[in-house]
């Protein structure tokens, strides 16, 4: 399912309903990206984080996308979470080069989808002998847009504390050109991820309207207490911002410990009729100063039982975030296979 398929839909709601129907009611999102890039040999000790590989190792980016597709992901996210024009300029790149790199993040994901479809056509069955999923199916490419805190690379996307100088206008101006570029990059949708506060959610929604963005989007928040978003803002109020925007096709939670997800789904359900997306981290906590994760997460075996409960509670797009792997996504895919209506 490419961009032409998406543009044929008359609205964001029809896009996601049609896609979920083709997926059997539940779609699988990919998993952690930086962890996998490092496993493939990338050095991400850089303010650009995984976006650094757009410059140094684009073949690794493509390889990770393919790993997730072969694990059963129906939606793959571009490696643009921490890619900003401002961040690339700080590394000495021109505006033109910076904009080209942003677009390239989506192009690489689309290339991976094409390669995957070719492998599916060449395969004699839906699953290879080594457990790879080789099934021709609708696949969406989402252009990832991280928060302002992700650009700062100081861990503030996990606190939402930007200071008094950062207001609505500042955030809209910061994101405007990047959102416009990614919306016209060939992606099927825009993924506003790890949104830490209500102010930035409002900025994203207003940008969609002000820039007359045609590409639909999802809005995904993070929480550290299972009640509010990380800034302390009400999750219900944040989710309601997504509900109010017709260009937002789904609302949900990412990069949040699995143990909090069920209550967060129930909270979101109270304020939205849109599909709910859930892609938690492994449960480990991140130290933004030391750039380290604590080794306290759940195993893939422990992750999967959560998934069934999340879907029963109302989630219809499920995957993983930081520190989850293709093995996690493969386990989710297998767990959901018996429950899908296809």
Which residues make up each annotated binding site for Zn(2+)? 255, 321-322
> CB atoms < 10 A from the CB of 326, how many?
24
Phi and psi torsions of 189, nearest 5°? -160, 165
The β-bridge partners of 190 are 143, 217
Strands 189-195 and 140-145, bridge-based pairing: parallel
Residues 6+ apart with CB under 8 A from 96: none
Phi and psi torsions of 241, nearest 5°? -65, -40
DSSP, collapsed to helix, strand or coil, labels residue 181 as helix
| Rounded alpha-carbon distances, angstroms, from residue 144 to 11, 81, 132, 241 | 20, 5, 25, 19
């Amino acid at each position: 399912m490419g961009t032409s398929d998406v543009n044929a839909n008359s609205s964001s709601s029809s896009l996601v309903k049609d896609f979920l129907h083709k997926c059997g009611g539940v779609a699988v999102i990919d998993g952690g990206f930086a962890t996998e890039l490092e496993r493939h040999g990338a050095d991400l000790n850089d303010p650009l984080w995984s976006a650094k590989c757009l410059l140094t190792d684009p073949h690794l980016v493509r390889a990770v996308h393919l790993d997730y597709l072969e694990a059963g992901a129906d939606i793959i996210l571009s490696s643009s979470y921490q890619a900003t024009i401002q961040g690339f300029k700080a590394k000495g790149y021109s505006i033109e080069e910076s904009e080209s790199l942003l677009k390239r993040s989506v192009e690489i994901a689309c290339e991976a989808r094409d390669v995957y479809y070719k492998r599916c056509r060449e395969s004699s069955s839906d699953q290879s002998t080594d457990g790879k999923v080789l099934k021709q199916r609708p696949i969406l490419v989402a252009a990832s847009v991280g928060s302002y805190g992700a650009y700062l690379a100081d861990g503030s996307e996990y606190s939402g504390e930007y200071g008094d100088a950062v207001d609505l206008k500042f955030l809209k101006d910061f994101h405007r050109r990047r959102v416009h570029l990614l919306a016209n990059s060939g992606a099927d949708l825009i993924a506003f991820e790890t949104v830490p506060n209500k102010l930035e959610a409002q900025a994203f929604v207003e940008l969609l309207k002000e820039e007359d963005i045609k590409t639909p989007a999802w809005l995904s928040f993070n929480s550290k207490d299972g009640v509010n978003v990380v800034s302390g803002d009400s999750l219900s109020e944040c989710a309601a911002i997504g509900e109010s925007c017709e260009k937002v096709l789904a609302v949900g939670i990412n990069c949040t410990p699995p143990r909090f997800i069920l209550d967060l789904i129930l909270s979101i359900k109270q304020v939205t009729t849109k599909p709910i997306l859930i892609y938690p981290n492994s449960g480990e906590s991140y130290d933004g100063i030391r750039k380290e994760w604590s080794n306290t997460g759940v195993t893939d075996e422990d992750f999967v039982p959560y998934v069934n409960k999340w879907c029963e509670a109302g989630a219809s797009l499920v995957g993983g975030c930081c520190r989850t792997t293709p093995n996690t996504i493969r386990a989710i895919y297998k767990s959901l296979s018996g429950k899908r209506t296809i």
